[in-house]
Chain A
Amino acid sequence: MAGALTERDFVQKLERAGFVEIEVLERTPMGIDDCALYPLFTKELLAIMRDVIPAERLDRIGVCAIIRARRA
């Protein structure tokens, strides 16, 4: 999650790489409870996230975007 781009940056990088017809087809919020499903999120990290991320953001820490694009 620390390496995630904003959707805008992701789309810009796709454009620069030579992709066209870029569509964001789904956006699904990912909250702290979703993160907890993944063993990659350690208990320590989850505790830090609960501690330092504002409560109003905990149900939308990130967004899973599904993006389709065509190579020009």
Chain B
Amino acid sequence: MIIFDFVPIWTLILGLAVFFYVLLDGFDLGVGILYNFAPTSGDRNLLMNSIAPIWDGNETWLVLGGLGLLAAFPLAFAIILPAVYFPILVMLLALIFRGVAFEFRFRDVEHRTFWDHAFGYGSAIATFAQGVVLGAFIQGFQVDGRHFSGSSFDCITPFSLFTGIALLFGYSLLGSGWLILKTEGTLQEGARRQARLCFLGTLAAVGVVSLWTPLVDPDIAQRWFSWPNIAFLAPVPVLTALFGLLEWRAIANPKAELQPFVYAILLFSLSYLGIAISLFPMIVPHHYSLWQAASSPDTQIFLGVGTLFLLPVILVYTGWSYWVFRGKVRADTGYH
């Protein structure tokens, strides 16, 4: 007996958790990627300090997203994770290195260069791996019954490698937007130059993916280009173009400190929405819908009660911690 359909609620919760993860860890991973290009040790200190108080909170969304998928759509969890075995492995190992580098770099002066690389390369590799996961997910997996039936190397395709590179530009765009907001002077000017490059890269990647997916996947083409969908969905590419233009101008405008970050977030939101529109209602593309992969209603209710109570609490103090650490980051501030 099902009194109430909890699947839409869990779709929303999980969608939000993954979205928060992509945005929040996205910008701090992006700062980590740009860290590789910071010229001096002092600059690297500033870059690290700009995300030191908040990165671990950001990363916790990854755990909540993973556990949310297991709890709400276990069949999808059991098929997708084996299918992206190696990207997940590489991501986890890179995140470990990057995570401990925050603490170790400051305590272990003798090996500072090593931990610098652990942080910079770790951030870049974790991002690339996430991009590969995204690409593999969009392409879909070989499924037999309730299992992934392909090889662990299937997920490495030209498309997934492309989305891996695309995400490097995307996260770097978010990261440079964050740095424009948090730094000043020459560091901010450098961040603006990087933002420009990352923006062009991101824009190109979004364009290529938007053309590539409908060409490869007739379902996606049907979704976007059939009448009347094309009319309803037209605002997505139109708004993307608009925010792209605003982002380009904000990056070039020395007075705009918050806008580059905000428009980058909006561009990400639209890309995320675009992927969701392409795939809905499938959670394992081509095989299982959200409803088919859902856990039992009892499970969704049992966990839903606590989640709907705790999630707002988490959101409130996440916001509060960003408020506490607001403002420009300076050289004399250490969070360790």
Question: Are A and B physically bound partners?
Answer: no
